[in-house]
A = this chain, B = another copy of it.
Amino acid sequence: MPADRGQAGPPTISEVAAEAGVGRATAARTLGGYGYVSPELRERVLAAAEKLGYRANALARSMSTGVSHTLGVIVADIANPFFAGVVRGISDTSRARGFDTIVLSTYEDLDEEVAATNVLIDKRVDGVIIASAAVDRREVAHIKGATDRGIPVVLVDRAVASLDLDTVVIDNRDAARGAVETLIAAGHRRIGFVWGPPMPESPATRRGLLAEASRNLWTDGERLRGYLDALDDARIPFDPELVMVGRKTEERVTEDVARMLALPDRMTALFCTETDGVTGSLRALRAAGLSYPRDVALIGFDDSAWAAVMEPPLTMIEQPVHQLGAKAAQVLLDTLEGAGPARETHVLRSRLIVRSSVAPPPRS
């Protein structure tokens, strides 16, 4: 219970010094935990601080030291389980090392991302971790701006080709290829691809698709490449009709998959790059009176407790979400502690969790 000092605002270090009958610097030294101070005075200061309920003003401290012990984090959406997990990884490891985090969501809007970056610069965070929506060279000015000011930035989940920065990702291309190969190995040749990023309109060609993919969300572009890799390896012709145009919501996915399901020579397997794609596809299957894995085999990204309790349980790709964040924080903190930026790309392992949503295609 802090003594009532009849003053406005919380007690300052000067008041503690006065209460203890010592100089301001002595109080600062014991409370700040630096420099020498005799045991007696130390005790007196501690007692005074306790009595007044003193808590250091971190803002003032940052002002004079120039460091805030705060990390900035920018992701698409904190409510998305993937990012929530990454953020938890970041805050767990940064808190353990004495840093707090300010998390900002952009909802995939580049203007929001720029604004968020500015907020972090203004608040003088010591470093930034960002899952950027930027792809184009002209879209990275805000990130360059941060590094130019000496704020270290590490990229998480999404690499940015035009930026030479520490990066922590999984191998999306490889993960997707592995999943699609699993489908192919089971005998499938008509495999649908359901993805996330919105596109102006459906490119009818493979070339157009890839161009679009590189202009859009990095992860999904990589996953599309993995899908194509697997198809190529198996000499399966690419059919653009089996690639869903990016539509963000689960409802849209449901509509689109329903349309794909109505196509002649119906697909016998479905690969989804996002969780909404999985649930949307499941709805479409049910609406069409189809079931998995009998009629259509299914693999999707981002495992969850639910995927395991589905009947039948779903084969899913598990991303090391927590570790993704933890590693990003570790790399950032290491460079803050003087290790100098390594400008490395750390590729974490994802894992295909095989359950029961893949079976051979039905005999036509």
Within the assembled complex, what's the spacing in Å between the Cα atoms of A335 and B59?
23
B residues within 8 A CB of A2?
145, 148-149
A68 (CB) vs chain B CBs: closest residue: B59
Is A309 close to B, CB under 8 A? yes
Tell me which of A43-51, A74-82, A338-346 binds B: A74-82
Q: A60-B63, A103-B101, A124-B59 are in contact. Are A84 and B79 (CB under 8 A)?
A: yes
Q: A10-B149, A63-B63, A149-B10 are in contact. Are A102 and B101 (CB under 8 A)?
A: yes
| Closest chain B CB from A249 CB (angstroms) | 10
Is A250 close to B, CB under 8 A? yes
| Closest chain B CB from A102 CB (angstroms) | 6
Q: A88-B79, A148-B2 are in contact. Are A124 and B57 (CB under 8 A)?
A: yes
Interface core residue of A100, A250, A276 (most chain B CB under 10 Å): A100
Q: A55-B118, A59-B68, A60-B63 are in contact. Are A88 and B105 (CB under 8 A)?
A: yes
Determine whether the beta carbon of B123 is less than 8 Å from that of A59. yes
Within 8 A of B (CB), among A296-353: 304-311, 322
| Closest chain B CB from A68 CB (angstroms) | 7
B residues within 8 A CB of A122?
55-58
Determine whether the beta carbon of B309 is less than 8 Å from that of A283. yes
Determine whether the beta carbon of B78 is less than 8 Å from that of A87. yes
Q: A103-B103, A123-B59 are in contact. Are A85 and B91 (CB under 8 A)?
A: no
| Closest chain B CB from A150 CB (angstroms) | 8
Q: Which listed residue, B62, B150, B276, B308, touches A305 by the CB 8 Å rule?
A: B276
Determine whether the beta carbon of B56 is less than 8 Å from that of A59. no
Interface core residue of A87, A122, A150 (most chain B CB under 10 Å): A122
| Closest chain B CB from A115 CB (angstroms) | 9
B residues within 8 A CB of A23?
none
Is A53 close to B, CB under 8 A? yes
Within the assembled complex, what's the spacing in Å between the Cα atoms of A56 and B303?
43
Within the assembled complex, what's the spacing in Å between the Cα atoms of A129 and B228?
48
B residues within 8 A CB of A88?
77-79, 105
Is A33 close to B, CB under 8 A? no
B residues within 8 A CB of A10?
121, 149
A276 (CB) vs chain B CBs: closest residue: B305
Within 8 A of B (CB), among A132-161: 145, 148-150
B-binding residues in A (CB < 8 A): 2, 9-10, 53, 55-60, 62-63, 66, 68, 70, 77-81, 84-85, 87-88, 91, 95, 100-105, 118-119, 121-124, 145, 148-150, 250, 275-276, 279, 282-283, 286, 304-311, 322
Pairs across A and B, CB under 8 Å, 6 listed: A56-B122, A70-B102, A78-B91, A102-B102, A310-B310, A310-B311
